[in-house]
Amino acid sequence: MGVSDTTRMDEEFLSLSLSERKAIISHGTALRLSDLRKRLFLAENKVRYFEEKYGTTLSLLEDTGLPNVAGYEMHEDYIMWRHWAGVAEKAKEAASALEKIARHGLFLEEAVRAGD
């Protein structure tokens, strides 16, 4: 999407009534929060799986490094562990930013759905 497309979309959005813009923001915030919370739940479960499997946290593992006897599976798991930890962190940050918007007031229906 080019700059002119973005500008045109912004202009079209701003041409809507204030109540319509609020409804769009409210609906979008609720849907996106729901998606981010599901993503966070999945990512945290993946991270927890690796913590239980190896009996340590990712930060401790990174501080000490992979054991010299670590095999292929542990190396592959480390890559996936790191990936899911990053997904969790990004989802947390994005949800936190959207929650600031949601505090301004979602319509009741969207607020209920955002918790799904």
Q: Report how far residue 51's alpha carbon sits from residue 53's, in angstroms, rounded to the nearest whole number.
A: 6
pLDDT at 111: 45
**Residue with token string 């912004």:** 10
Entry pTM = 0.76
Name the more confident of 109 and 53. Answer: 53
Mean pLDDT score, 16-40: 91
pLDDT in tens, 68-113: 888 999 999 999 999 999 999 999 999 999 988 887 765 544 444 5
Sequence spans of domains, the chain: 3-114
Q: What percent of the chain has pLDDT over 70?
A: 87
Average pLDDT of every residue of the chain: 87
Q: Report how far residue 40's alpha carbon sits from residue 99's, in angstroms, rounded to the nearest whole number.
A: 14
Buried b (16+ CB within 10 A) or exposed e, 77-87: bbeebeebbeb
